[in-house]
Every structure is written in structure tokens, then in C-alpha cells.
Amino acid sequence: MDTQELSSGRYAREVLLLGIGNILWADEGFGPRAAEAFNALYRLPEGAEIMDGGTLGGWLVNEICSTRRILVFDCCDLKAAPGTLRVLRKDDIRIWSSTKISPHQTGFNDLLATAALMGSSPEDIAVVGIQPELLDDYGGSLTETLKARIPDALEAARGILTEWGFAPQLRAPGEAVPPLSFQSLSIDAYESGRPDAREACRTGDERFLVRAAGHESMPEEV
């Protein structure tokens, strides 16, 4: 969607379905992966759009300000068992906005505050949130625990969109699906292209770690 010239109380888009998070850190990528799966399964009616918001940024402020209702896929700290899925609305939104699993959430809160200052806050926000299991696996994909909940997340989102009057339609078999991001970042390509742990360290590349002379891993360095 092109950047819109905004004025107070006017919306260029009725509904935005937004997946946010960082796919490089395992379950932190739940939002974009849920959006990707929803896009593959459903076609949205006119007036509604779906977007991979990734790790966000100031460039999304116009998207927020120009949308009447926003539905977000995200992982958040629900203080519950991994894989717990909840729909947060109205007062429950503070559970999501007040917990900081990663920097992208702070960014989204800043965008909402900016929208309020501009007099263009969304009329309604809903969050399909999930408790992550693993966040510190660099380059890792979703855990099986969270993958198993994606169908439930899509069904929850479908229900909210239908309530808002924008019921999604199942795509026809073989229908071409416009990607939300680069094809190389789709979950299938991402998982199949990840090098094993011997080629890409999961917690930091030892070639770039400072070690004292004579470290036991390379005693010849004296």
C-alpha cells in the first residue's frame, strides 16, 4: 500500500492483518509465520490487507494511522505454558503491550503512541498472542510446539475478521498466492537452507570471539 496523506479520523484501509516478530530467533518469528500461513490459506475481501511487519520500524506509522482495525499475530509473555494461545482485546491488550519479549514490541507501542498524537489511532486492535518456547536459537525456525498451534491461530483470526465484516475466503486449489516477503524467506526455504550447527554456530561464531592466548581450544596460540 502506498503511503497515504492522513487526516484526523479518516482511514484509507478498513482492516490490516499484521504479523510481527523476527524470524531469525526461533519462536520470535511466530507472527510473520502465522501471517504467511494465513495468506497461503485465505484470500481477504476488498478493504482488508495482510502484511508481514517483521521487526517493524517507523516506516509503518502510516500503515497504522491509516487503518480502522488492526489484527496482530505475535508472541508475548502470557505467563503461561509454551504454546498457550490467547486472543487479547480491549483491556487485555495491556498484557501484550506491557511485556517486552523483544525490541519489536516497544517499536509497535511507539507507533500506537504516535498514531494517538496524530489523532489517527485505530478504532479497534486485537492480538492473537502465543507464549514462546524458545527464543535464543539464532537462525532457528519455530519450535514444533508453536508450529502445532498455527492452525488454531488462523482460526482465531478468521473469527475476528468475520466479526468485523471481512470474512476471508479459502483459496482455490492451485491458486497463485502473492508472497508477503521474499520467497527465500518463506518457512520451507528458510528451514531447508539453514546450515547445520557445525557450519553455523547457534550461539555465536567462535571465530569472532576474543580468547586469551593459550586458550584450551587452541593451546598453540601462545
- Here the CATH number for the domain that contains residue 168 is 3.40.50.1450
pLDDT digits (tens, 9 = 90+) for 17-50: 999 999 988 999 999 999 999 999 999 999 999 9
> What mean pLDDT do residues 209-222 have?
54
The answer to the question of residue 37 being in a domain is: yes
Residue 156 lies in a domain: yes
Residue 155 marked in a binding site? no
Give percent above pLDDT 70 in the chain. 79
Within a domain: residue 202?
Answer: no
Q: Is residue 74 in a domain? A: yes
Q: Does residue 6 fall inside a structural domain?
A: no
Determine the Cα–Cα distance for residues 217 and 137; give it in Å rounded to an integer.
23
pLDDT at 222: 44
Residue range 133-173, pLDDT digits in tens: 999 888 889 999 999 999 999 999 999 999 999 999 999 99
Domain count, the chain: 1
Rounded average pLDDT over 196-217: 61
Q: Quick one: average pLDDT of 82-106?
A: 76
In the chain, alpha helices (H): 30-41, 61-65, 93-97, 103-117, 144-147, 150-163, 187-192
Give a yes or no: residue 38 inside a domain. yes
**139 neighbors 194 (Cβ within 8 angstroms):** yes
- Using alpha carbons only, what angle is made at residue 78 by residues 74 and 83, rounded to the nearest 5 degrees? 70
Residue 125 falls inside a structural domain: yes
Burial class (CB in 10 A: 0-12, 13-18, 19+), 98: exposed
Binding residue per annotation — 52?
no
Handedness of CA 21, 73, 175, 26 (dihedral sign): positive
pTM: 0.82
Mean pLDDT across the stretch 51-68? 85
The beta strand positions in the chain, using DSSP E, are 13-20, 42-43, 48-54, 67-75, 85-89, 124-130, 169-170
**Domain assignment present for 211:** no
pLDDT band at 123 (very low <50, low <70, confident <90, very high): very high
Domain span including residue 166 = 13-192
The verdict on whether residue 104 carries a ligand-binding annotation is yes
